[in-house]
Amino acid sequence: MQSLILIFAITISLGICERKLNVEYNPGCPLSYPENCSQLLKLAYVRADGANDTIHFIFGFTYKPSLIISKTNKNSEIKINYDELKSNTANTILFSEVPLYTFATVFNNLYEYVDVNDTARLENGSNFLTMDFRKFQNWTVNLMENDNNETVHVKISSNLYRDVGITKRGNVSITLKVYAKEDKGLMFPHLIHTPESSELTLTLDHLTLNNPKSRYAVELLTLSSYPYNATEKMTLKTFNDDSSSGGVFSSYLIDAKGEDLEGGGYLTWKPVVFKAYDTHAFNSSSTTQYSIEDHSNQTDWIKSTLFNLFGNQLFEQQFMMKALNISFGEPNDGFYSKSNYLYWTFLAGVGAPPNGGLGFFEVSIIASLLLLLTITMILVFCVFTRWISSKRQLIIYGQ
């Protein structure tokens, strides 16, 4: 009986959502001009209410796609000043209470480079083409839904890049997922998420190339509201329970921490990229990570949603602002042109990063096996008891 109670307790506790999710597009947009709001701002807002606090996920894509994650007291609200946006973008996103902590990441640049020697390393590449994410034309929302308060999905895409002397076609999409409880992702690479983290996926689908031996890389910016002189480092973590991830047994973690070792923000990913819609190990290749650098280029930050939130505070040495390059592919994988498809997923979150562990699916299997074992033991006990009883009756009547 105690085993049954334990099994049901485990299953019920895993099924309970830790946060209540709500998603809106351009929250607070005046009803008098909803279409005009999108001309001023493109923003998906996910609110994740917990028992004692709220996590705000602000996914802006007016210019450079940017994700801001702010932790606040439970009753804190955001307000967007659409009237001010008509003439000025700074400080147009406001919180009713100052956030306890903010972490953000920005899709800054996409690089195409020719890998003549097939080393899959940026430093060995040539003929670099830098594509500013804000110059992908007309980022559009393809999907925005709340799936039974378990997961919020937001997908944006652009099918045209245009700059001076450069035109590229193909579908570039970014997908945001926010979860209400801790678990392991259903799709490869099965990243473990928490209610304080979000999953971001970059997809390049038939993006035109300048050379058949071209590869792609991405530059991400990160901002932490810890002081600018705090630390941010990248570490390699290895897990022993990762058999579901197509042979990938490690993950990279960029952790921005202050004095509170359990606080801060982070990016984490497994060094794997998929080269087909079917995210199976047979369709996978590798990522290469490069050093974390300071990044104070004002133009890059101004063209992100962070400028709407912080304004010129961004340039007063109040925040830790970094940049990181990640390239996609490995030697002998056929370059991007082999499949003309690329799918890479990472997590961005606040608080303690998730540890390698069992997800709901694995624990459900264990719970089911324990339940089956318990039922079997009860049946065996019942059969044995009846057998003993019948033997006793035979002995009695035999006398």
Tell me the pLDDT band of 236, cut-offs 50, 70 and 90. confident
Rounded to whole angstroms, the Cα distance separating 336 from 11 reads: 43
Q: Give the sign of the dihedral formed by CA 221, CA 227, CA 230, CA 236.
A: negative
Tell me what pLDDT residue 12 has. 40
Q: Which amino acid would we find at residue 299?
A: T
**C-alpha angle with apex 196: 194 to 198, nearest 5 degrees?**
75
User: Is the pLDDT score of 50 beyond 60?
Assistant: yes
pLDDT, tens digit (0-9, with 9 covering 90-100), for 104-148: 999 999 999 999 999 999 999 999 999 999 999 999 999 999 999
Tell me what pLDDT residue 185 has. 83
pLDDT, tens digit (0-9, with 9 covering 90-100), for 91-101: 999 999 999 99
pLDDT, tens digit (0-9, with 9 covering 90-100), for 311-359: 999 999 889 999 999 999 999 999 999 999 999 999 999 988 887 554 4
Tell me what pLDDT residue 241 has. 44
Provide φ and ψ at 97, rounded to 5°: -130, 145
User: Is the pLDDT score of 267 beyond 60?
Assistant: yes
Tell me the pLDDT band of 9, cut-offs 50, 70 and 90. very low
Rounded to whole angstroms, the Cα distance separating 216 from 4 reads: 52
* Higher pLDDT pick, 69 / 384: 69
Q: What are the structural domain ranges in the chain?
A: 19-357
Tell me what pLDDT residue 38 has. 87
Burial class of residue 336 in the structure, from the number of CB atoms within 10 Å of its CB (0-12 exposed, 13-18 middle, 19+ buried) = buried
Architecture of domain 19-357: Distorted Sandwich (2.70)
